[in-house]
A and B are shown apart, each in its own frame.
Chain A
Amino acid sequence: MSSVPDLTGAVTCASIWKSFGEGEAKVDVLRGVNFMAALGEMTFLVGPSGCGKTTLISIIAGLLAPDSGTVSLFGERLSLLAPRERILFRRQYLGFVFQQYNLLPAFTAAENVAVPLVAAGWGRENAIGKAREVLTHLGLAHRTELVPQLLSGGQQQRVALARALVHEPRLIICDEPTAALDHRSGESVMERLATSAIHPDRAVIVVTHDSRVFHFAHRIIEMEDGLIRSSKKIESLNQP
């Protein structure tokens, strides 16, 4: 219970406990997790399905509250923020990539990418303009006006990646970003992620159990049964 949060890490979790359910049905999903993700790195969180990876990143993102333990992002304790401030913090500092892309089906690629900017109060024209820029950067210049339904899975995930980058957040959280993609598309998305997201002032957390993309990791943290089992620094073989 007594580990001191390390403020040099971008993300520091100390002794996180989280359970779901009550009484008989109570399940301890996280059992005292200590976790750190450093600036300038891609931290992979791996482990078998059901071991608590998604629960952990939900807590890191402030979408779930831990039963106990502390989370700090860039020195800020999320649990100490008022609900509204937590939303504003997330809007400014966090970007997300989801397994199911979670693009809004009614919006074009550019409109989807513009959402975080619109949320931050940008005017529509400026937001769309910036969104097109980021999409172009990710090789989707010719797809900006299409709705998600007309895009391939790999393209949709690149749009989602653009949405996670457009507001230049300091932490990007990806949950199984390649799980719904074939190998080639997955590889391409990870390459884009590696080239665009890695930045000395930014941390990237990738939850995955897709071992084919492990070579993109700077650090691999292995989880099992609600606990961190190992944390390995990967020497820079494949780093861009």
Chain B
Amino acid sequence: MISMAFTMLSHDGPKFLAMVLAIAMAAFLTQNQASFLVSFLAMSDSQIRDVREADLWVMDSSTECFDQAKPLKDTAAEIVRGFPGVKWALTLLKVDAPARTEAGKLSSVTILGVPEQSKVGEPRMNIGDSSVLDERDSAVIDPGGMALLYPGETFRPGMRIRIHDKWLQIKGVSNASPPFTGFPIIHVSHSTAIQLNRAESRCTTFVVGRFEADADRGKVTREIRAATGWKALTREEFEEASSRFYMDQGVPHLFYITITVGLIVGAAFSGQTFLMFVKENARAFTTLKVLGFTHGQLAVMVATMAGIVVVLGLALGTMLAVGTSFSAATMPFFRSLYLPWQVTLLCCISIGLITLITAGFAFKKVLNLEPADVFRS
């Protein structure tokens, strides 16, 4: 019966192919878009996670996410340090500035100052050592920045970048996580960052710190907030706030729409084609009924046909999605792109369920075929 189902299905090659491709398209689109969504959401708080040492973040009350921050007064770190339950606190300076290479390539960049003593926020390195930041006018760049500012080039010592009117030596490539903004991430020493901070007189973007091990974190942040009027958040709270900020901008909706359209168009097209297939094979199905196929046997046939289509389609679509995410991940801006297995599972289950419903309709169509029509031409 299973081989009969396959023979009938593959006899109508174009429809068979159309159904498999439609399911594959739905599987690919949903997984691809869901993986982008997951990866973008991961990017929305990546820079917070990159400051590994800090679990306390203090910022101006109007600051909503890492990328857009209003500076604090320069005594802020000292003030935060004074609260009970705070082990240490120091200034993090983030500067957004236009940059230019010797070849004339332009881009806005995000500059992060690494404190000379504590090295808090120091990047992990792909090429070179972060100790180069101690050297005068030196910087390290992230892989996304390399790709954007030096397209087609590989890192070599002696590369230079001009920020405002200052030339910096690029002495290494960091492993900084891709930021949501897509801007290159340039790490410099804190003092260099201050020199590049032309748009602002204040040099404290965030105060980052650490709670005492036994501190009541909620109490500490509440006290800082009450006393200073600033926003004091645990790392987790700030990550969540940053993600929510981007989600509220409507970024995910684009993905939701594509995912929904992919599911509906792919599954509906495939389902429609399947119903058409059953209709065109009505005579064959009617004959099978008359020759003694029970409802159970007909159900097995229809289910087998739907199963073959959905398994082939899902396999093809998933292969495409995995392939795409691997090949995209070789591009610096998408280097954090990944396809979590949960996404694949969820997409396959949804498409499987939609197919099951369609197969149900198709089976109903078969059941409703009038056996006596077998004598009519």
Contact = CB atoms under 8 A, between A and B. Distances in A.
B371 A63 contact: yes
Interface string A125-152: 0000000000000000000000000000
B8 A58 contact: no
B65 to A, nearest CB: 60
A104 interface: yes
Contacts of B8: 104, 106-107
Contact of B291 (A58, A99, A119): A119
A156 to B, nearest CB: 13
Given A63-B290, A102-B283, A118 B375 contact: no
Interface in A45-75: 54, 57-58, 61, 63-64
A87 B374 contact: no
A118 B284 contact: no
30 contacts: A54-B375, A54-B376, A64-B372, A87-B289, A87-B293, A90-B290, A91-B292, A91-B293, A98-B374, A98-B375, A99-B375, A100-B377, A102-B283, A104-B8, A104-B287, A105-B11, A106-B12, A106-B284, A107-B7, A107-B8, A111-B4, A115-B288, A115-B291, A116-B291, A116-B292, A118-B4, A119-B288, A119-B291, A120-B292, A163-B291
B68 interface: no
Contacts of A35: none
Task: Name the interface size band of chain A.
Answer: 20 to 34
B4 A107 contact: yes
A120 B10 CA distance: 24
A87 B292 contact: yes
A27 interface: no
B1 A118 contact: yes
Given A87-B294, A88-B292, A118-B1, A104 B375 contact: no
Interface string B182-224: 0000000000000000000000000000000000000000000
Contacts of A58: 372, 375
> Max chain A CB contacts within 10 Å: which of B288, B290, B371?
B290
Contacts of A88: 292, 294
Interface string B1-25: 1011001101110000000000000
B292 A119 contact: yes
A163 B290 CA distance: 12
Given A54-B375, A96-B374, A107-B7, A102 B292 contact: no
A77 interface: no
Contacts of A102: 283, 287, 374
Contacts of A41: none
Nearest to B9: A106
Contacts of B374: 63, 96, 98, 102
A105 B376 CA distance: 17
Nearest to A164: B291
Given A105-B11, A124-B3, A57 B375 contact: yes
A118 B374 CA distance: 19
Interface string B266-301: 000000000000000001100111111111010000
Nearest to B10: A106
Contact of A175 (B10, B284, B371, B375): B375
Nearest to B283: A102
Given A106-B8, A118-B1, A91 B291 contact: yes
A119 B297 contact: yes
Interface in B293-346: 293-295, 297
A26 interface: no
Contacts of B375: 54, 57-58, 98-99, 175
A64 B11 CA distance: 31
Contacts of B295: 84
B14 to A, nearest CB: 14
Contact of B377 (A92, A99, A104): A99
B12 to A, nearest CB: 8
A54 B377 CA distance: 12
A54 B373 CA distance: 10
Across the A-B interface, give the 9 residue pairs with the lowest CB-CB distance, nearest first.
A91-B292, A106-B11, A58-B372, A63-B372, A63-B371, A119-B292, A102-B287, A64-B372, A104-B284
B67 to A, nearest CB: 60
Contacts of B289: 87
Contacts of B291: 91, 96, 115-116, 119, 163
Contacts of A91: 291-293
B290 A119 contact: no
Contacts of A118: 1, 4
Contacts of B7: 106-107, 111
> Max chain A CB contacts within 10 Å: which of B7, B8, B287, B288?
B287
B17 to A, nearest CB: 15
Nearest to B293: A119
Contacts of B293: 87, 91, 119
A54 B289 CA distance: 18
B277 to A, nearest CB: 11
A96 B20 CA distance: 36
Contacts of B376: 54
Interface in A157-212: 163, 175
A124 B372 CA distance: 28
A111 B5 CA distance: 12
